[in-house]
Amino acid sequence: MRQTKSFKKQKKRTNSSYSKWSEERMAEENTDFYEELRPWFELKVSEFSKEGYSNIETDDLILCFKSFVWKHSIPSYYYQQVADILNASVNQYFDYKSLEAQVYNVSSLEEINFEEFF
């Protein structure tokens, strides 16, 4: 019996150290994950630019997906992720930007440069 308890304790320690390792690994993969999708984000930014929204940058769109579109769940499959990126609309991006403006304290509308949106 004692060996079993000691084995269980050792197994618990191993699992907790594994979970810390896996969290660190996921954080590393998370940055790689968005870098792997960067060409698709760049393609979408070029589409936005052709539509007249030349001030939207790739990193801004990536942040939009990180903190708004895929905030609660990232699609499991690569083709679903690419489809989400390609189906993104300018309105979706502006929803993110307006939410960001509400969350961060902007004391007046005079501080916002609206010309960069057009």
101, two tokens: 């403006």
Q: How far, in Å, CA of 14 to CA of 3, rounded?
A: 16
| pLDDT for 39 | 95
Closest by CA to 44, choosing from 33, 56, 31, is 56
19, two tokens: 């979970």
Q: How far, in Å, CA of 16 to CA of 39, rounded?
A: 36
The number of residues making up the chain comes to: 118
| pLDDT for 9 | 46
Contact (Cβ atoms closer than 8 angstroms) between residue 83 and residue 70: no
Q: How far, in Å, CA of 96 to CA of 65, rounded?
A: 9
| pLDDT for 10 | 46
| pLDDT for 11 | 45
| pLDDT for 20 | 44
Closest by CA to 83, choosing from 95, 73, 75, 94, is 75
- Residue pLDDT tens, the chain, 118 long: 555 554 444 444 444 443 444 344 444 455 678 899 999 999 999 999 999 999 999 999 999 999 899 989 999 999 999 999 999 999 999 999 998 888 765 556 666 677 776 6
Contacts within 8 Å (CB) and 24+ apart, 96-104: 96/64, 96/67, 96/68, 96/69, 97/64, 99/68
| pLDDT for 96 | 92
Contact (Cβ atoms closer than 8 angstroms) between residue 61 and residue 45: yes
